[in-house]
A and B are shown apart, each in its own frame.
Chain A
C-alpha cells in the first residue's frame, strides 16, 4: 500500500506536465484515508495514516502538521461512517467519496488556518468545482484500485476480520 502511494506521489510530483489539469486538482491521499477507515483495522489504519500523511507533508510546502491533522480528521470520519455501514457497492463508495471530498473542502482551510498558513477560511475558491469533481471521480478509481491491490495480495478486509472475530 505504501509502495502504491509512493509510486503515485512520484508521478504526481515529477510528471506534472503530463496532466496539469488533473494533477492541479487531485487530492492524492483522500481515497487512501477513506479506504483505511473503511477496510483496515484501527491500529493498522492509524499506522498507515501516520506514515503516508507524514510522507505527504514532506512533499508539500504546507506547514508540517497540516496534512497529518487534516488526514487524521478524514480517517476518523471514514472510520465513524464505517461503524454505521461498510461501503461495498460502487455507488456506495462513490457516495462516500463525494461526502468526504465535500467535507475536505471545509476541513482543510480550517486546519491550514490553524497552522497560520494564510488561508482564507471562508472563500468560494475553497469549493472549486473542478477540484471536487476531479477528486470524486479519481478518488473512486483509486478506491477501486486499492481494493484490487488488496485482492491480488490476498489481504483480508476489516469486514472479514471482524466477522471472524465475531464468530470466534
Chain B
C-alpha cells in the first residue's frame, strides 16, 4: 500500500515540477547555495568527517600504490630505455678513470724516482770522492755472468777499473767502456775481485762472486782471524777504486775445513743487483790524475 502511495506522490511531484519550472529552479538554487555554505563552513576547521576519512583512506592508498608504480616505471625508463646514453657516459667515464689511473701511476713513478734520486744525491754529497751518476739500462745477456750496462761511456770520462756504487753499498767495477755506455762487472760475478775488510775486526780479504749465485765469497781469510756471522763487510781505499768504509754485505755463512788454513766465508751482498736502477761511478782523484797524465 505504501508503495502505491509513494508512486502517487512521485507522479504528483513530476506534474508539479513540469507545471512550475521556475519555482523548481529557484528552490534547487536555494538548496544548492545553502548546501555549499554549509559545506564550506563544515570544512573550514580543517577537520574531516567519517566519510571524508574513508574517502581519503581509499584515495590515499590508491595514490600511494600508483605513485610506487609510477616511480617504478620511471626507474625502468631511466635504467633500461635510456641505457644507450648511460652506456656512452659509462664509456667516457671509463676512459677518464683509465687516464686518471695512468696519471696516478706516472706520478707515483715520478715520486719514486724523486725519492731514489734524492737518496742518491744525499749519498753523493756524503761521500768524499768525486762521482758521476748513471742509469742502469740493461742486465747481462748470459745467465752465468753478472753484469749490468750503464748509460755513461768514455765520452763522460769513464775508464776501465773505476768503482761503481749505490746508496745500498758497493756494486762492482767498470769492465768495458764504449763511447756512450759501459759494462759493469758486479761484485757477485766470479771474475770480480774487490778488496774488503770485516768492519769489526779489520780482518782483510778479497770479495769475489760465485757461479750461479748472488752471494759472494770472502777469500783468503786466515782461520785465526776473528769473523762472526752478520759481521758487516766494508770496502777499503786500496787501489783508489772505492771510498773506504762502504758496505759490501754481511757475513752469512762461515765454515772451515779441519786441514785447511783458510776460512770459507759467504757474504750476502748489501745491494740487490737485480733491482738496480741508478748508480754512481767513482771518479777517483788518483785515476783522473793518471788519465790526464
Chain A residues near B (Cβ < 8 Å): 9, 12-14, 16-17, 20, 23-28, 56, 59-63, 67, 108-109, 112, 117-120, 123, 125-126, 128, 131
Contacts and interface: CB of A to CB of B under 8 A. Distances in A.
Size category of the binding interface on chain B: 20 to 34
Contacts of B185: 61
Contacts of A61: 140, 145-147, 175-176, 183-186, 189, 191
B149 A13 contact: yes
Nearest to B138: A13
Contact of A62 (B138, B142, B186): B142
**Interface of B, helix, strand, loop or mixed by DSSP:** loop
Interface of B: 137-147, 149, 175-176, 183-186, 189-193, 208-213, 274-275
Which of B142, B175, B190: most chain A CB closer than 10 A?
A: B142
A32 to B, nearest CB: 13
A26 B143 contact: yes
A123 B175 contact: no
Contacts of A131: 143, 212
B144 A108 contact: yes
Contact of B147 (A9, A23, A60): A60
A95 to B, nearest CB: 22
B256 to A, nearest CB: 18
Contacts of A59: 138, 140-142, 149
Contacts of B146: 61
A134 to B, nearest CB: 8
Contact of A118 (B141, B142, B193, B212): B193
B184 A126 contact: no
B43 to A, nearest CB: 83
A92 B190 CA distance: 35
A60 B142 CA distance: 6
A123 B211 contact: yes
Top 9 nearest A-B pairs by Cβ distance?
Answer: A61-B147, A59-B141, A13-B138, A118-B191, A117-B191, A16-B139, A128-B212, A125-B211, A60-B142
Given A61-B184, A61-B189, A119-B190, A125 B213 contact: yes
